[in-house]
Chain A
Amino acid sequence: MRHPNGILPKLLIALAMGYLAFLILLPVAAIFQGAFAKGVGAFFDALLEPQVLAAFQLSITLAIIAVIVNAVFGTLVAWVLVRHDFFGKGFFNALVDLPFVVSPVITGYMVLLLFGRQGWFAPLVEATDMKIAFAVPGMLLVTIFVSLPFTIREVMPILREIGVEPEQAAHTLGANSWRTFLRVTLPGIRWGLLYGITLTLARALGEFGGVLVAGGGISGKTETATLFIYAALEERQSIAAYAVAVVLAVVSFVVLIGMEILRQRTEITQ
């Protein structure tokens, strides 16, 4: 790395920073300005509406369950994909990236095709009287789906780098598989896992298209924070929409700072 001597380097830096300011910082500033346009009081009044609190509660619940499921199964999948050799491994490895390229709307639609009135599992749904489509369980499936790759993709390279030797050494010393995992594998992957969990959390909290289709956005029942924004915009309650958006944006910033700290940690430990 060097100091930017001369006109061209300075021009390039200015261009790059100007682009970021125009593309990202300007819109961020605009929404903050919009949310506080009618004063701080109006901002907080909007946030304390029961409908808004219920929406945040649902968003957080869905995100936490998605984080737990994806942390547990994600670690397991990553471990199997790195440590095992089997037929079709390349296929499963590629399959993990599916949620990155599938539109969230299509994800929500998949839930309807499986659990809707004419869905594949419609008889099962009717027999057990379990509501999945247009209900919270369907939204949970969507949230887990869209945030599935993150932990797997963060943990896999670390597992590969650690290698099998530490685990084998623990085995030779008489530790059983579970103990080996808790004492050797888990401490090794912990920062990568945490990084993956942070990404999972951010993605799950921000999910919109999928939960809109799968849940229907019924106020007070299947309305998450993002769905509340969508509904509030249509009802022209702009302050409420902006306020909730600002809270989501602030949470994202906090997550971002956490990510930055975690990244530095992972770089140090590796």
Chain B
Amino acid sequence: MDTAVTTPLAAPTQARQVSRSWGQWSLRAVALLYLCVMLLLPLAAVLSDGLSGGLGGLWTDISRPAAWFALRLSLWTAAVMTVINTVMGVLTAYVLVRYNFPGRSLFNALIDIPFAIPTLVTGLMLVVLYGPQTALGGFLKTQFGWEIIFAPTGIILALLFVSFPFVVRTVQPVLMEIDLDQEDAAATMGASGWMTFRRVLLPALAPAVATGALLSFARALGEFGSIVIVAGNFPVRSQTAAVYVLSQIESDSQHSASAMSVVLLAIAFSLVFIVDLIQRRQEHGEAGR
């Protein structure tokens, strides 16, 4: 971004301008080359392999029972997680922003734990807590016939753990900017707490909530480390899409692995695209106000 400043001392400044823009050009080239080599090239490799048999070939690979089951399991567990995570995330963000209570800053810091802990360790924690041989896991199984490990419940718990910060951390800053006065005004005019929430807070929060929910859903679809520990690797029982990709790589079925990868990438890209649209509309709205 060279500014065209014309000075009387044109000669030396101009020379520096030229050498500087050469430097700028090479910096830009290095940066973009880095992104191309590290991100675009690997992406191209997966897409071209997955689409080498055309969309028909992709469909044949995806419609196999094990693949289809894995994809559906990933989608529905991620959807359940997203609903719970959205409700609890908004509640947590609201409590953190609106109320002052003892232990608030510690509570706030603990929310980031899932960002820091390796997801494999998360899976292990859940197995240690709810596994069939543990006190709690054994109790739940014998008393209620409720299996958590190697079952969808375990997958949902793992997904809830790893994606907990997403909604909280996207809603929190937006909530901070909404004036308490607006809520108070609604309350003095006789609106109930629920009404205030629905009419005042929810419309303002909706874009942030949608962003957080979609991102956590996208994150959950690709989740692997915690799920492979919690749910194991049993086809047509507890195998999710990402674990399915691993099993296909291990059994040298490159086509099935690539096909599932392409489907997962396509879903993730669409979600990111929607998030981008929401954010642009949001910025637009703010600029117009």
Interface residue ranges, A against B (CB under 8 Å):
1-4, 8-9, 12-13, 15-17, 19-20, 23-28, 30-31, 33-34, 73, 76-77, 79-81, 83-86, 92, 94-107, 109-114, 118-120, 141, 144-145, 148, 164, 168, 177, 199, 202, 205-209, 212-213, 226, 229-230, 233, 241-242, 245, 248-249, 252-253, 255-257, 259-260
* B129 contact from A26, A77, A86, Cβ within 8 A: A26
| A109-B245 in contact given A16-B88, A148-B39, A208-B224 (Cβ < 8 Å) | yes
Question: Looking at the complex, which of B60-68, B112-120, B205-213 is the stretch in contact with chain A?
Answer: B112-120
* Residues in B whose Cβ lies below 8 Å from that of A97: 272
* CB pair A101 B242 closer than 8 Å: no
* CB pair A24 B161 closer than 8 Å: yes
* Residues in B whose Cβ lies below 8 Å from that of A9: 98-99
| A109-B249 in contact given A120-B45, A208-B118, A256-B113 (Cβ < 8 Å) | yes
| A256-B39 in contact given A101-B271, A209-B246, A226-B225 (Cβ < 8 Å) | no
* CB pair B265 A106 closer than 8 Å: yes
Asked if B55 lies at the interface with its beta carbon under 8 angstroms from chain A, I say: no
* B97 contact from A1, A33, A100, Cβ within 8 A: A1
User: How many residues on B have C-beta within 8 angstroms of the other chain's C-beta atoms?
Assistant: 87
* CB pair A208 B225 closer than 8 Å: yes
* CB pair A101 B118 closer than 8 Å: no
Among B19-51, those with CB < 8 Å from A are: 20, 23-24, 27-28, 30-32, 34-35, 38-43, 45-46, 49
* CB pair A101 B219 closer than 8 Å: yes
* Residues in A whose Cβ lies below 8 Å from that of B272: 94, 97, 101
* CB pair A168 B3 closer than 8 Å: yes
* CB pair B120 A24 closer than 8 Å: no
Q: Enumerate the 6 nearest inter-chain pairs by beta-carbon distance, A residue then B residue, closest first.
A: A206-B118, A103-B222, A110-B42, A27-B125, A252-B116, A209-B224
Closest to B246 in A: A105
Asked if B78 lies at the interface with its beta carbon under 8 angstroms from chain A, I say: no
Asked if B178 lies at the interface with its beta carbon under 8 angstroms from chain A, I say: no
| A31-B116 in contact given A148-B39, A168-B3, A208-B224 (Cβ < 8 Å) | no
With the chains together, A105 CA to B121 CA distance in Å? 17
* Residues in A whose Cβ lies below 8 Å from that of B40: 95
* CB pair B124 A242 closer than 8 Å: yes
* CB pair B27 A80 closer than 8 Å: yes
* CB pair A230 B120 closer than 8 Å: yes
25 contacts between A and B (CB under 8 A): A1-B97, A20-B164, A23-B164, A24-B113, A24-B164, A26-B129, A27-B122, A30-B125, A31-B124, A73-B34, A84-B28, A99-B39, A109-B249, A109-B257, A110-B43, A145-B42, A168-B3, A206-B117, A206-B121, A207-B118, A209-B224, A209-B242, A230-B228, A255-B116, A256-B109
* Residues in A whose Cβ lies below 8 Å from that of B219: 100-101
* A98 contact from B27, B43, B113, B119, Cβ within 8 A: B43
* Residues in B whose Cβ lies below 8 Å from that of A199: 115
| A2-B245 in contact given A16-B92, A114-B45, A242-B128 (Cβ < 8 Å) | no
Q: How far is the CB of B81 from chain A (nearest CB, A)?
A: 11
Among B89-132, those with CB < 8 Å from A are: 91-92, 94-101, 103, 107, 109-122, 124-126, 128-129
Closest to A174 in B: B16
| A111-B42 in contact given A23-B160, A168-B3 (Cβ < 8 Å) | yes
* CB pair B249 A77 closer than 8 Å: no
Asked if B180 lies at the interface with its beta carbon under 8 angstroms from chain A, I say: yes
Q: How far is the CB of B39 from chain A (nearest CB, A)?
A: 5
Closest to B127 in A: A233
With the chains together, A245 CA to B180 CA distance in Å? 43
Most-contacted residue by chain A among B40, B107, B112, B221 (CB, 10 A): B112
With the chains together, A22 CA to B141 CA distance in Å? 18
With the chains together, A3 CA to B104 CA distance in Å? 12
* CB pair B99 A229 closer than 8 Å: no
Asked if B201 lies at the interface with its beta carbon under 8 angstroms from chain A, I say: no
* CB pair B118 A252 closer than 8 Å: yes
* CB pair B128 A34 closer than 8 Å: yes
Q: How far is the CB of A108 from chain B (nearest CB, A)?
A: 8
